[in-house]
Amino acid sequence: MEEGLGVQESKTFESICNLLRNHSYKVTPQRQTILQTFMEHVDRHLSAEEVYMLVKHQNPEIGLATVYRTLDILAEIGVLLKNDFGDGRSRYEFSRKDEHHHHHHLICLSCGSVSEFDDDLLESLEAVITKRTQFKVMDHDLKFYGYCNKCEEAL
């Protein structure tokens, strides 16, 4: 993946448009609509299908394939992270290049909601791994599967 934008910069619509241009991608009206919609839902982990459902009301001629291509391009240039939460579809979120590690995800097995957990409690484990194996850990990805408060109450 090429170098992208930090979380603060990534929230600037024009910065992302400039990054697209710098990577020789056109900033089409469809891409602008998709990007703006994604930015309006920055706190969510959206799938291509969810983005499509949101954009088709504003711009009915946008196809699902255009949404997929745009999200893949934004992931390729480092604006978005593409996540697999085990539900058969990729979900996207803004990348945080300023983080040493990615935040962790809490995934509800019932409703499929995804929330974030920012505390990185694995730094001491990484130090032990490095000391014992001479393997320098650069990053990790941790997902917790369980039930959100709402679904837990319904069980």
Binding-site residues from annotation for Zn(2+)? 108, 111, 148, 151
Distances (CA, A) of 22 to 41, 69, 85, 146: 25, 17, 31, 41
Rounded Cα distance between 20 and 31, Å, is 10
- What amino acid is encoded at 24 in this protein? S
Bridge partners for 91 per DSSP: 47, 83
Q: Residues comprising the binding site for Fe cation?
A: 102, 123, 140
Distances (CA, A) of 155 to 68, 74, 102, 107: 35, 38, 31, 16
Q: Residues comprising the binding site?
A: 102, 108, 111, 123, 140, 148, 151
> Which residues, in sequence order, are CB contacts of 18 under 8 Å at separation 6+?
none
Q: Quick one: CA torsion of 14, 16, 17, 22, rounded to 10 degrees?
A: 120
